[in-house]
Amino acid sequence: LRSELAELRNLPATTTDGERVRLFANTGLLADISPGLANGAEGIGLYRTEMPFMISDTFPSEEEQLHIYTQVLAAYPGRPVYMRILDIGGDKPLPYFPIREENPALGWRGIRFCLDNSSLLMTQVRAMLRAAGTGEELHILLPMVSNTGEITAFRNILTDALQQLAEEKIPVRRPLVGIMVEVPAAISLLPMWADKLDFISIGSNDLSQYLLALDRNNTRVAGAYDHIHPAVLHEIARIAAVARQIGLPLSLCGEMASDPAAVVFLLGTGIRTLSMSASKLPGIKWLLRSISAADAATLAQQALTLDNSTAIRTLLEEALQQRG
Ligand code: PEP
Ligand code: MG
């Protein structure tokens, strides 16, 4: 089986009825880069830049960030790399910048933190732009976006950074900018953001946590956390439909992307780009090559009629078992 999976590396993730799915890797540390390539990742769908910030003992300088980001981009020449701006706060504390809050999940995190610390953000954006140079790989991903002003404010900082670098005669190009769809409030606004965004990526971990008002790191309630909850699936189907309507490239980069039952559903809603830990890529590719997108669409419609996750999981898993 191991050698069969190895052979899979260079085969495309194409369903039995010819639908092509792009498989990307999630990374945070440079050590994750080569496993992604070894497992056939077609790009990086989520580079969690908070990782290098978390293992450092102070905010990394522009030069230090430049050094790290350059290596990440160089590993995937000509392929998309979605670099997320710093997403600390909540479950991702920075040892040298403690944030004490009663309700950290609803607090100062993601883009809220970045925009309130604009010189940190400027340093990071400059480092990303310099690392990408004139290449086309860089996609900047904004975490925890919940209102239009955050996108506008980020775009203004990006414009300033581009202008600064032009004045410094450092050749760079304007990157694509997208958001994580992970705060439920973003979903209703997507149709109004068609011309403000170049792509979107569903962060199913936080999206599930916020839709269910359920902290999956709280052992008292974590047992009830499930990204296959019907409400989560309905929202994902809605996001996929809107993205298609307004022509916005869509991916999904939470844990769902590597849960086989969830993948059947995602394929069925029309999602064609999934990003996951490198080690999960071969298994998911194997799964995708064994099912048809048309069957997945039928199963997704059926799943959306069910009122509990156990029944949904049973439906999707039985369908997978029938296909071996
Ligand atoms: C998510 O929220 O689904 C996600 C991919 O981001 P993170 O787990 O880093 O918050
Ligand atoms: Mg998240």
Distance CA 60, CA 72 (A): 16
pLDDT at 5 over 70: no
Ligand 1 atom closest to the Cα of residue 26 is: 5
**For residues 127 and 71, is the Cβ–Cβ distance under 8 A?**
no
* Alpha carbon 229 to its chain's center: 20
Distance CA 28, CA 68 (A): 11
Pocket flag, ligand 1, residue 253 (CB < 6 Å): yes
18 C-alpha to ligand 2 centroid (Å):
31
163 C-alpha to ligand 1 centroid (Å):
31
pLDDT, one tens digit per residue, over 114-160 is 999 999 999 999 999 999 999 999 999 999 999 999 999 999 999 99
ipTM value greater than 0.85: yes
Q: What is the pTM of this model?
A: 0.97
Pocket flag, ligand 1, residue 206 (CB < 6 Å): yes
* Alpha carbon 271 to its chain's center: 13
Pocket flag, ligand 1, residue 46 (CB < 6 Å): yes
Please give the sequence-ordered ranges of beta strands (E in DSSP) within the chain, or none if there are none: 13-14, 20-27, 44-48, 81-84, 138-142, 176-181, 199-202, 250-252, 273-277
pLDDT, one tens digit per residue, over 9-50 is 889 999 999 999 999 999 998 888 999 999 999 999 999 999
Pocket flag, ligand 1, residue 50 (CB < 6 Å): no
Q: What is the DSSP letter of 223?
A: G
45 C-alpha to ligand 1 centroid (Å):
11
3-state secondary structure 106-125: HCCCHHHHHHHCHHHHHHHH
